[in-house]
C-alpha cells in the first residue's frame, strides 16, 4: 500500500519527502540521483524517509556508542518499510567543552531544527545521551514538529575502586574535597581515575544525563521501557530496533510532538523528577522544551506539582546506589507506578497510548533501591522554588541533595565576583569565612559567563574542610551539576549580569535562607539595596563577546526562570520549506 501521512483533519496528502522525490522534472531527478549511492530505486517510491539525528562523537565520550545504536534503529526502519538516513547533528560533550556545554544547547537545537526542516524527511529518531543532547534534540523536534521519537543512549555500568562502587561525577566532587581536606592522597585520588568509567554510556548517577533520559520517557517521547537501560545492555539495541519500526508507524499515523507533548506530559515529568531525585538542570530544559511547544509551564509549576512528591529512588547524589541498580530494581516504570495517582491519566506517549497504560504491574525488585510510597527516602523532596529580594524572579534548591540542618539558615555573605575570583581567594588562609558563612558567587548566569555553567556547587574553603565541614549554604546565578550535592541555591533570577539584585550584595551582608517558607533574602533595608551601585569587579568580569555565536547568545538569551532559550527561538515554525533549492 502507498505510504501516507494523515493530517489532523483526516486528509492524506502523501509523504513530505515526496515534495523532493516525486515527479519527472529536473529537480526531482537531482534529488533522487544524488541519493543513489547504495539506495535502491524503490527507496523513492513513497517510503517514509526517517532521519536518525545522531549525536555520536568521540569528543562526547558518553555518546560514542550511538553509531552502534543507530545501526539497530536502521534495521527497524527498513523492516517496517521505511528508509533510514543517518544525520549527524551537533554533539555537546559535558566534560570536554569550554567554557560550558550549556552555551551551545540552543545552537545545537537551532541547527538540528533547520536540518530536519530543510531535508527530505518524514520523521526522525533522536539519539542522545550526554546532558545537553536530549534537551537540544527535543527542543528542535518540538519546533519543527515532524514525527519524532527519542532513544536515550543509557548509563554506563558501575565502576569500583578498592571494592567500593564509584558514582561518576558525584564521587569526583567527594574525593577531590577529601584530597583538599587532607583525608585522601593525590596518588589514591588519581588511581581512582582509571576505575570510574567502566563502560560506554553516560554518567551512572542521577545526574542530568540520567535525569533527562528518564524524563524523556516520562514525557512520552520514548518507546516505553527504553530509558534507563544500561548502554552496554543488549536490550538497548533491541529497543532501538523497535523504535525504528515505531518511527515509521508514527509517520503513517501522523503522530507529532505537538500531539504527544501536552501540559499533562510536563506534569508527569515533574512528578518523575521529584520521585527520582533528579537534576536541577531539568528545570531549565523542561521550561525550554515547553516554550518551543507553546505549552504553559512556569517555574512555580515545579514547586506546585513536585514539592510534596516523595523521593523514592535511592541513587547518588541523593542516596547510595547507581543507575545499573535502578534498572535491576525495576526501573522507571516501577517508580512511576508508585506515584501513578499523581500522573496525568490522559498524557500520551509516542505509541499513541497514555503513559499510565504502559505501567502495567511494574514491580519493585529491590526496595532498598526503589522505595515504596509508604516508606520513601524522603517524604517531600521535589524542587523548591525560592523568592525574595535576592531572587525576585525565582531561584531553586534541591532539598534531596541538601543538608536538613541548613534548610533554615542565617549567615554572613562571602562574595565572589567571578569563578576566577573564587578560585583565587577561596583557599586563602586569611579569607574571613566560617562554617556559618554563606558563599555567594555571581556573574555566572546565561549572559554573565556566558552560558550559565555548572559552578554553583562551589568547593568549600580548605581551612573549613580540614575542620570537618562538608556543607555550607551557597548562592549562585549559575547551575549545578546533576551529580553534585549540597545546600545550594541556584538559578538566581534575574542574574547579576542582567541587573539582578545579586549584583549589589556585599561581603558581610546577612543572607537568610528559609526553604520551608520559600524565601532567600539579604537582610538589609530595601532602599539601601536598591541604592547600591553594581560591583565594579563584577562588571569587569562579565563577558562581552564581539562576534559569533557568543555575541548572538548574550544579546538574545532569556533568564533561567524561563529556560534560558534565545528569545527568537521560542515557539515553532513547523516543517514547511517555501522554496526549491535549484
CATH of the domain at 413: 3.50.30.80
Domain boundary among 321, 342, 358: 358
Q: What's the pLDDT score for residue 167?
A: 87
Q: Taking the alpha carbons of 182, 187, 193, 195 in that order, is the dihedral positive or negative? A: negative
In terms of domains, do 472 and 536 share one? Answer: yes
In terms of domains, do 174 and 62 share one? Answer: no
Count of residues for the chain?
Answer: 582
* Residue 170 to residue 569: CA distance in whole angstroms: 33
* Residue 242 to residue 286: CA distance in whole angstroms: 26
Give the long-range contacts of residues 387-390, CB within 8 A, separation 24 or more. Answer: 387/518, 387/519, 387/520, 388/512, 388/519, 388/520, 388/521, 389/501, 389/521, 389/522, 389/526, 389/529, 390/475, 390/492, 390/501, 390/502, 390/505, 390/511, 390/520, 390/521, 390/522
Range of the domain at 171: 159-196
* Residue 90 to residue 59: CA distance in whole angstroms: 11
In terms of domains, do 441 and 507 share one? Answer: yes
**Residue showing cell 575570583:** 421
- How many domains is the chain partitioned into structurally? 3
In terms of domains, do 317 and 174 share one? Answer: no
In terms of domains, do 130 and 174 share one? Answer: no
| Cell numbers given for 247 | 518511527
* Residue 323 to residue 206: CA distance in whole angstroms: 7
Whether residue 38 lies inside any domain: the answer is no
Whether residue 449 lies inside any domain: the answer is yes
Whether this prediction's pTM lies above 0.85 is answered by yes
Q: What's the pLDDT score for residue 13?
A: 52
Q: Which residues of the chain have pLDDT under 70?
A: 1-13
Q: How many CB atoms lie within 10 A of CB 468?
A: 9
Give the CA count within 13 Å in the CB-facing half-sphere of 189: 16
Whether residue 532 lies inside any domain: the answer is yes
Q: What's the pLDDT score for residue 164?
A: 87
* Residue 482 to residue 495: CA distance in whole angstroms: 20
Q: What's the pLDDT score for residue 542?
A: 83
In terms of domains, do 286 and 240 share one? Answer: yes
Amino acid at each position: 500500500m502507498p505510504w501516507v501521512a494523515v493530517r489532523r483533519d483526516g486528509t492524506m496528502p502523501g509523504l513530505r519527502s515526496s515534495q523532493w522525490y516525486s515527479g519527472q522534472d529536473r529537480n526531482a531527478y537531482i534529488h533522487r540521483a544524488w541519493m543513489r549511492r547504495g539506495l535502491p530505486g524503490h527507496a523513492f517510491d513513497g517510503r517514509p524517509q526517517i532521519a536518525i539525528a545522531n549525536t555520536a562523537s568521540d569528543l562526547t565520550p558518553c555518546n560514542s556508542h550511538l553509531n552502534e545504536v543507530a545501526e539497530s534503529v536502521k534495521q527497524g526502519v527498513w523492516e517496517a518499510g521505511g528508509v533510514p538516513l543517518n544525520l549527524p547533528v551537533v554533539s555537546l560533550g559535558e566534560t570536554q567543552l569550554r567554557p560550558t556545554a550549556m552555551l551551545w544547547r540552543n545552537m545545537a537545537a537551532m541547527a538540528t531544527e533547520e536540518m530536519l526542516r530543510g531535508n527530505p524527511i518524514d520523521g526522525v529518531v533522536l539519539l542522545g545521551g550526554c546532558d545537553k543532547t536530549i534537551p537540544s534534540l527535543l527542543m528542535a523536534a518540538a519546533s519543527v514538529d515532524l514525527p519524532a521519537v527519542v532513544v536515550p543512549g543509557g548509563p554506563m555500568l558501575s565502576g569500583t575502586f578498592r571494592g567500593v562502587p564509584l558514582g561518576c561525577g558525584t564521587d569526583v566532587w567527594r574525593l577531590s574535597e577529601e584530597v583538599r581536606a587532607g583525608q585522601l592522597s593525590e596518588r589514591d585520588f588519581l588511581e581512582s581515575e582509571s576505575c570510574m568509567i567502566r563502560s560506554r554510556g553516560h554518567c551512572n548517577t542521577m545526574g542530568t544525563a540520567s535525569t533527562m533520559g528518564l524524563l524523556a520517557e516520562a514525557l512520552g517521547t520514548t518507546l516505553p521501557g527504553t530509558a534507563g537501560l544500561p548502554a552496554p545492555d543488549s536490550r538497548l539495541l533491541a529497543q532501538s530496533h523497535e523504535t525504528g519500526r515505531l518511527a515509521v508507524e508514527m509517520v503513517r499515523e501522523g503522530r507529532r510532538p505537538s500531539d504527544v507533548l501536552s501540559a499533562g506530559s510536563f506534569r508527569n515529568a515533574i512528578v518523575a523528577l521529584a520521585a527520582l531525585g533528579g537534576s536541577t538542570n531539568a528545570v531549565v530544559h523542561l521550561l525550554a522544551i515547553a516554550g518551543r511547544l507553546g505549552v504553559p509551564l512556569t517555574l512555580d509549576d515545579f514547586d506546585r506539582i513536585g514539592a510534596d512528591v516523595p523521593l523514592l529512588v535511592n541513587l547518588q547524589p541523593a542516596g547510595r546506589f547507581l543507575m545499573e541498580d535502578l534498572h535491576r530494581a525495576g526501573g522507571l516504570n516501577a517508580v512511576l507506578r508508585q506515584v501513578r495517582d499523581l500522573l496525568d491519566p490522559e498524557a500520551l506517549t509516542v505509541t499513541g497510548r497514555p503513559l499510565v497504560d504502559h505501567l502495567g504491574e511494574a514491580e519493585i525488585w529491590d526496595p532498598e533501591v526503589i522505595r515504596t510510597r509508604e516508606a520513601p527516602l524522603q517524604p517531600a523532596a521535589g524542587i523548591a522554588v525560592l523568592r525574595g529580594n535576592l531572587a525576585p524572579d525565582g531561584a531553586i534548591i534541591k532539598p534531596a541533595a541538601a543538608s536538613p540542618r541548613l534548610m533554615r539558615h542565617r549567615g554572613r555573605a562571602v562574595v565572589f565576583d567571578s569563578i576566577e575570583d573564587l578560585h583565587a581567594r577561596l583557599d586563602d588562609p586569611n579569607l574571613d569565612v566560617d562554617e556559618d558563612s554563606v558563599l555567594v558567587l555571581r556573574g555566572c548566569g546565561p549572559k554573565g559567563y556566558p552560558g550559565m555553567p555548572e559552578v554553583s556547587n562551589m568547593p568549600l574553603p580548605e581551612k573549613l574542610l580540614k575542620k570537618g565541614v562538608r556543607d555550607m549554604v551557597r548562592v549562585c546565578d549559575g547551575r549545578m551539576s546533576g551529580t553534585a550535592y549540597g545546600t545550594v541555591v541556584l538559578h538566581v533570577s534575574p542574574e547579576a549580569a542582567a541587573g539582578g539584585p545579586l549584583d549589589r550584595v556585599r561581603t558581610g551582608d546577612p543572607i537568610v535562607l528559609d526553604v520551608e517558607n520559600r524565601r532567600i533574602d539579604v537582610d538589609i533595608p530595601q532602599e539601601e539595596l536598591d541604592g547600591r551601585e553594581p560591583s565594579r569587579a563584577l562588571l569587569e568580569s562579565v563577558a562581552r563577546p564581539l562576534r559569533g555565536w557568543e555575541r548572538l547568545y548574550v544579546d538574545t538569551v532569556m533568564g533561567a526562570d524561563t529556560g534560558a532559550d534565545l528569545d527568537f527561538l521560542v515557539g515553532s515554525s513547523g516543517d514547511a520549506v517555501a522554496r526549491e533549492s535549484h
